[in-house]
Structure formats: C-alpha cells, structure tokens
C-alpha cells in the first residue's frame, strides 16, 4: 500500500515538473501575429526581377523566418529572399509565410519588350531607309526616303513585314498600312502586351513611313 502511494506521489511530481517545463516553453515563445508584404500586386516582364519585402509582426516573434513560394514557376519564380523573376507570360501568386501566417502578392508577367536595336541590326543595318534611336527607344522605316514620285524601296517594305512578324504583331497590320491613304493622316496602334506603339503615314509622293516606339521609354 505504501509502495503504491509512493509511486503515485512520484508520478504527480513528474507531471508537475513536465507541466512547468511546458508552461515555461510556451510562455517563452512569441507567436507571429501577421505577415505583411510591401506589394499586393505587381507587373513585370519576362526576365525582369522584382524584390518583394516581407515583414513579420511583431518584430520579436520567435519564428520570424519568412518562407517564399510561387504558385506557378512557369510564370515566375521566387528565391529564399523574396526575389521574383519573370519566366513566362501569365499570372501567379507569390506567398510569404511564417509560423502559420501568410501574405500574398499577385504577379502578372508580360512579354519582354522588343529589342529594337537588335531588330534593326538583323533586318535594316546600314540601310538608308531605316533609322534606330541610340537608346533603342524607336525604329523608323521609310520606303521612299528620297521622296521620289511613284517610287518605293521593296526591301524596306519587306523589312516592315519581317519586323511585324518578329515582334508578334497581327498579320493584318501590314494590310492596314497598305490600305492607308494620304487623306487618312497618321495612323497608329498600341500593343500594351508587348510594350510597343506602331504609327504610320502614307503619301503618294513620299511613300510609307512606319515608326515602332517602345511604350516604357
């Protein structure tokens, strides 16, 4: 009987000790109340980067390390430090989490803007009928740079078609250019998905002149 009573006392003491240890551990932990990101939405282009900044509240939380995850690595990836890289067109969600709390940023990735200087070098380099800005902000093609009557340079028109195709512009655009008359004045189309504006004019004595201009320059 005394042995049973002694055992019971020992078990009670152990339970008290364990409870005290657990209580001290629980009291020593500062839980995360919230995770905040500096952006809730963002738009970048393919190959562009964006640094997201995450904040854990309170700042003395025990588990303050933020984990990062992308909902679609084919659209955008995110590093362990919150650096986002655009991979392909589309939309995905970047999640920052810590101790069961999280915040999200919706990332939209658009096509990379055309490299007009590279396109110039490929299709128009050194030609008198083409001009590219030193900063690559625009590319101009004139199929009658000398303003001769009833004259045009076929290679210039071919370059316009090739440029339209290389930039993924609608196949109907070149036909629209050909159907433009001098009385219609300056025409233009904006393609925000690839970040470019195309404008053109036509005159019987001056030919067709087309300008490709980047939107973000």
Q: What is the CATH number of the domain that holds 100?
A: 2.60.40.1080
pLDDT digits (tens, 9 = 90+) for 129-162: 999 999 999 999 999 999 888 889 999 999 999 9
Together in a domain, 49 and 100: yes
Residues 98, 138, single domain; the answer is no
**pLDDT score recorded for residue 85:** 98
CA–CA dist 202, 200 (Å, integer): 7
Termini Cα distance of the chain:
92
User: Is 155 in the same domain as 131?
Assistant: yes
- Which residues face 92 on adjacent strands? 107
Q: How many CA atoms lie within 13 A of 36 on its CB side?
A: 8
The rounded distance, in Å, linking the Cα atoms of 208 and 184 is: 13
pLDDT greater than 60 at residue 58: yes
Instruction: Specify whether 44 is located in the same domain as 100.
Output: yes
pLDDT of 111? 86
- What pLDDT sits at residue 28? 72
**Which pLDDT band holds residue 217 (cuts at 50, 70, 90)?**
low
Q: How far apart are CA 142 and CA 26, in angstroms?
A: 76
How much is the pLDDT for 29?
86
Nearest Cα neighbor of 144 from 202, 189, 212 is 202
Residue-range definition of the domain harbouring residue 46:
34-110
**CB-count burial class (<10 Å; 0-12, 13-18, 19+) for 23:** exposed
What tokens does 158 get? Answer: 């071919």
Q: Note the pLDDT tens digit of each residue in 147-205.
A: 888 889 999 999 999 999 999 999 999 999 999 999 999 999 999 888 899 999 998 88
Q: Give CA separation, 205 vs 32, 67, 143, 198, in Å.
A: 73, 64, 11, 22
Q: Tell whether 103 and 184 lie within a shared domain.
A: no
Query: How many structural domains comprise the chain?
Result: 2
């Amino acid at each position: 009987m005394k042995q049973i009573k002694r055992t019971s006392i020992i078990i009670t003491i152990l339970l008290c000790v364990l409870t005290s240890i657990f209580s001290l551990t629980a009291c020593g932990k500062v839980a995360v109340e919230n995770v905040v990101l500096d952006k809730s939405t963002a738009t970048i282009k393919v190959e562009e980067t964006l640094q997201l900044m995450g904040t854990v509240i309170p700042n003395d939380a025990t588990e303050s390390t933020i984990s990062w995850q992308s909902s679609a690595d084919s659209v955008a990836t995110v590093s362990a430090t919150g650096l986002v890289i655009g991979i392909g067109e589309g939309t995905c969600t970047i999640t920052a989490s810590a101790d069961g709390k999280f915040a999200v940023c919706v990332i939209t990735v658009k096509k990379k803007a055309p490299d007009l200087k590279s396109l110039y070098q490929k299709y128009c380099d050194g030609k008198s009928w083409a001009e590219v800005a030193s900063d690559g902000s625009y590319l101009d093609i004139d199929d009658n740079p000398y303003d001769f009557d009833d004259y045009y340079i076929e290679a210039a028109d071919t370059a316009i078609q090739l440029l339209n195709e290389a930039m993924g512009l609608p196949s109907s655009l070149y036909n629209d250019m050909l159907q433009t008359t001098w009385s219609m004045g300056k025409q233009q189309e904006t393609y925000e998905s690839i970040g470019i504006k195309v404008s053109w004019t036509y005159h019987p004595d001056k030919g067709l002149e087309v300008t490709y201009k980047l939107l973000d320059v």
